[in-house]
Structures are given as structure tokens and as C-alpha cells.
Amino acid sequence: MHEPFITTNQDQLVLFQKHFLQYSHLFPTELDTLKQKHALKTPVKIKSLSECPMTPLPSFHNADTLVVGGPPALITGVSMVKKDKCLTYINDERRIPIAFGSAWHLEQDAETEAPTSYRPTKFLGNQITRATVRYISHASVEQTGLFPWRTIDWIGWIRHPDHWLLGLKVTLAFQLVAMFDDRITMLKKVAAQCQTNEKFYEKLDQELDGKLLMREKGSIIVARNSEEVSELNTLKEALTIEGRTLKIISKEEMKNRYGFLPNGLMYGEKLHDRVLSSNFMRILSEYIHKQGGKVIDGTLTSVYADNQKVGGIAEYQTPDGQKNLLPFSRLILSLGSQPIISQNNKPLFDVVSARGISVLAHVYVPHGYQLPSVLVCGGTNHATKLSENPVSIKGDDEKPYDLYLMRFTAGACITPNVSDESTANYDGTMALGLVAAVRNTFGNQCKIEPISVYGCNRQVSRNGEIRWIEPFPGIHVQYGAAGGGLTRAPDFVINQPLNPASSL
């Protein structure tokens, strides 16, 4: 595992400051600060109401709805606030949200968003083989852009023996799900959910004057070899069954549309994909405030609850160190990697981390080239365009180039779900392979300059997909979103009769 990378190239730093300052929330400037933010430990303890220091206990019936954390909770709050002005959203601004390292790519179909059918036993066998007799050299990865996108952090697991039993429990449960769940029924359910979520996002985007979603629709998938061609054809057939469309695009059409031909054997376009604005969390927080809700920069520390009562009291700490108690009628939690400890001092749920690669890069293309909103450079190698309109500059060769800011993502290195100063570290083989895959796909006429690289931790539960639980009356907790936390973020508010999505 490698430490995070932040460029020291002054030319690249000047370009970013001059042209892309609106994306400064995505670009860490100090390595130590980046590591410290990822190392933040902010567990939440659920305690009995009898332990609450607030006396006398208030009635919870008319208390605020409290929403805390990342996109699944935030989107729920946005949907609720139009009918419930008594809503408070708390988010810890010290943290780097998982979503900041994502590709913001809404792949709104079951084939992409459903839990993988890949079995842990096969994965572990492949990893042992790779570690012992089938080592893949960095030179090979750099040349081909081909690399194993699922890996395991052996050192991380060795360093955290207290997570071994948890990891085994998640592995065995995941194996049973992969072996015995009715996958056809599950795919139909996820497909219906994705299509409903798609309508939710489109309606919310209209409410926000088109600021939530990028204007361009769809994504382009590049198949680089015969295996990926076969996978692309299989995906096309599966999406047809699902009622979705994957259009195979000829080389002539690709060149006419984009002005250049990415290196590949076959090209497919998923017409239903969308991309969220990289600043969507700020946009949604401001929306809550404008609708009459409260937005607080704070850290949730404790929740006082009782099985006999709906609602409870939250304790949170503000940046000045002050602790506050806030009664709530409903609590919506989405805390990402941070554990929630139940009243019996055990974690409320078990998760492991699937750590991907998150690269922020300057991409130079010859003037006149057009880029799709998302270019999937084989496998899971996503290249997402952040700046919809390029900046025209001259290259070192004095030729005119168009400069884009892009996010590259790939991979899943299975690690213990811990927060420490190695949490932002990343699998070097994956990072090298991802950048090589993008470079090879874009071709020699384009120039790729990574300006930051770090590990992006996504939590995976025994079910392999986003889950909501209600451990106490009126307290709803999301966990284990895996790679679908954005596409599936509206699940709860759509499926809960207490505040249907039609309220938007």
C-alpha cells in the first residue's frame, strides 16, 4: 500500500488555481492534513434514555427530524424538508466524505448496481495464487493497463487481528448470499429501484434548477480485448432484459461524435447513466437551509434512545468543543466508515472496507476533441469529466490543447474498516493500472497529469449492497453501501411511507 500522492509540480498547481478553483474541495493541498482527516475516529454510542443528562426529558412528538451524515441521509433530508420545516441536518465538516473520492457516476441499472455474484472463496483463492506464484509486475501493468481490480490488503489484516472474526463473518455471509439467493428476483427488484431512483433524481434536479446533475447523459464503455468485448455483449443482452439500452457504437460514429477514436475493439453507450455535480453535498445542504431547515457543522457523539418510545436525544459536538443535546422525533443516520456502538457495547452492524483508487487529474487533449461525461476505459476504470467545458491552453510543444479536470476511479482492495493514518493509502498496482488504462485508451496525443491520488474507502456488508435498519423506534440507520451509495441513496425516502418521494 502506498501513501497518498499530492503533486508538487508548480505548473500543475498554477493551472489548478487558475482554472479549477471551484473544485478546491476535491484537491487536498497538504499530505498530513489529508491523512489526519481520513484518520478521524468519531464513533457514535447508543445509550439508554435513563443515562441522558437532560432533565426532565421532553416530549419527542413535536421535536425536529434529525438527519446526520452522508448522501443517503442528506438526500432523505432534502426530500423531507419541504413538508417538515422542523428538520436539522448535521454533518462533520472536518471529514472528507466518501463521495468526494467517487466518480459521481449514477449507473442506474441492476447489472451494475446489484450485489456482485463473485464468491469470496474464489476471490481468496485468486489472491493467494497471485501472492505466491502469479505475481504481476508493475512494468507489465504500466504497459498494458490490465490489473486485478479486486485485491486484499494482507498487511492491513495482519495489523488488525481484532477484525479477523468480523471479516470472517462478513465473508461467510456474503458467500451464502452469492450461493443461495434468488439472483433473478433480486435483479428485478434492484432494476425497479434504480428506475424509480432515476426519476427521483431527475425531479430533484428540476427543483434545483438543473444544478444537481451534469447536463450530458450517458457513458461510453471501451472494450479493450476479446474478453471485454464478450462482457460488453453480455451486458447489452442483460440490459435489454432489464428494459434498458446499451447501444453499440461504430468506430466511425465515435470519431464523428468525439473527434477522435479511443483505443479499443468495441464501444458501447449506456444511455441512462447520469453524473452528479461534484459539489452536490453543498448544493443539497443549501437547499435544506433555504427550505427552512437547520444545517449544523458538528460531530454526533451519542444517541439516547429507548425501545418504548419513538424518538430520542442526540448529543453532538461543535468545532469549538461545545457539547449540545438535541431532542428528535426521527433520526436518519448515514455515517460511512464510522462505527455505531449499541447499548451492549457491540457494533450495530458488521462491515469491511473495499478501498478503491481516487485520482484527480489534468487531462490535455488536442483542440477539437470532445470527451463524453464518463469514459469507462475497460474493466472498472472510470474517467469522469468534472469540467464540462475545457480550458484552451498551449502545450509544451506550442500546439493548442483543451484542458479538462477529471476524476479516475477503479478497484476494490478489501481491508479492515478502520480509521487511522493509513486509511488514505492505496494499492499501488491498482493506481498504476488505472492511470495506464486511461492513458492507453485516450492515446498518445493526449496527456494525463495526476495531481492527487488516495484510497477511497467504501463499506461492504454481508449483503453486498446498501442496507437500512431501525434499531430503535424512529431511528433509521444506513450502512454497507459498497459502490452504490449514490445511485441507491434515495432508496429509503422512496420506500418509506412516512415521507413518500412524491413530496418533491
Is there a single domain that holds both residue 144 and residue 96? no
Is there a single domain that holds both residue 368 and residue 386? yes
What is the mean predicted confidence (pLDDT) over 77-95?
A: 90
Q: Is the pLDDT reported for residue 316 higher than 70?
A: yes
Q: Is the pLDDT reported for residue 497 higher than 70?
A: no
With bands split at pLDDT 50, 70 and 90, how would you rate the model's confidence at 196?
A: very high
What is the mean predicted confidence (pLDDT) over 443-449?
A: 94
Whether 183 contacts 117, CB under 8 Å: yes
Residue written as cell 443535546? Answer: 325
Is there a single domain that holds both residue 149 and residue 216? yes
Q: How far apart are the first and last CA of the chain?
A: 44
Cell numbers placing 278: 461534484
Write the pLDDT tens digit of every residue in 234-277.
Answer: 999 999 999 999 999 999 999 999 999 999 999 999 999 999 99
With bands split at pLDDT 50, 70 and 90, how would you rate the model's confidence at 176?
A: confident
Distance CA 415, CA 24 (A): 28
Nearest residue to 189 via CA among 404, 491, 502, 493 = 491
Write the pLDDT tens digit of every residue in 328-386.
Answer: 999 999 998 899 999 999 999 999 999 999 999 999 999 989 999 999 999 899 999 99
Distance of CA 344 to the CA centre of its chain: 31
Distance CA 282, CA 209 (A): 15
Q: Is the pLDDT reported for residue 212 higher than 50?
A: yes
What is the mean predicted confidence (pLDDT) over 396-411?
A: 92
Is there a single domain that holds both residue 270 and residue 286? no
What local confidence, expressed as pLDDT, does residue 100 receive? 85
Is there a single domain that holds both residue 327 and residue 450? no
What is the mean predicted confidence (pLDDT) over 147-159?
A: 90
Whether 231 contacts 268, CB under 8 Å: no
What local confidence, expressed as pLDDT, does residue 483 receive? 64
What local confidence, expressed as pLDDT, does residue 149 receive? 82
Residue written as cell 447523459? Answer: 217
User: CATH number for the domain including 34?
Assistant: 3.30.9.10
Cell numbers placing 204: 430533484
Q: Is the pLDDT reported for residue 504 higher than 60?
A: no
Instruction: Name 142's Cβ contacts closer than 8 Å, sequence gap at least 6.
Output: 432, 433, 436
Whether 98 contacts 281, CB under 8 Å: no
Domain count, the chain: 2
Distance CA 387, CA 235 (A): 29
Is there a single domain that holds both residue 268 and residue 410? yes
Instruction: Name 43's Cβ contacts closer than 8 Å, sequence gap at least 6.
Output: 338, 339, 340, 341
Whether 350 contacts 166, CB under 8 Å: yes
Is there a single domain that holds both residue 222 and residue 178? yes
Is there a single domain that holds both residue 356 and residue 476? no
Is there a single domain that holds both residue 260 and residue 385? yes
With bands split at pLDDT 50, 70 and 90, how would you rate the model's confidence at 498?
A: low
Is there a single domain that holds both residue 96 and residue 114? no
With bands split at pLDDT 50, 70 and 90, how would you rate the model's confidence at 503?
A: very low
Is there a single domain that holds both residue 260 and residue 371? yes
Distance CA 40, CA 206 (A): 36
Write the pLDDT tens digit of every residue in 214-238.
Answer: 999 999 999 999 999 999 999 999 9
Amino acid at 387: S
Q: What pTM was estimated for this model as a whole?
A: 0.92
Is there a single domain that holds both residue 359 and residue 497? no
Dihedral sign for Cα 472, 474, 478, 484, please.
positive
With bands split at pLDDT 50, 70 and 90, how would you rate the model's confidence at 98?
A: confident
What local confidence, expressed as pLDDT, does residue 342 receive? 92
Whether 13 contacts 269, CB under 8 Å: no
* Residue count of the chain: 504
What is the mean predicted confidence (pLDDT) over 118-141?
A: 81
User: CATH number for the domain including 498?
Assistant: 3.50.50.60
What local confidence, expressed as pLDDT, does residue 183 receive? 82
Cβ count within 10 A of residue 202: 12
Residue 244 backbone phi and psi in degrees, to 5: -110, 170
What is the mean predicted confidence (pLDDT) over 6-32?
A: 95
With bands split at pLDDT 50, 70 and 90, how would you rate the model's confidence at 501?
A: very low
* Cross-strand partners of 222: 267
* Cross-strand partners of 356: 456
For residue 139, the enclosing domain spans 1-39+110-275+352-460
Mean pLDDT rounded to a whole number for the chain: 91
What local confidence, expressed as pLDDT, does residue 484 receive? 67
What local confidence, expressed as pLDDT, does residue 502 receive? 38
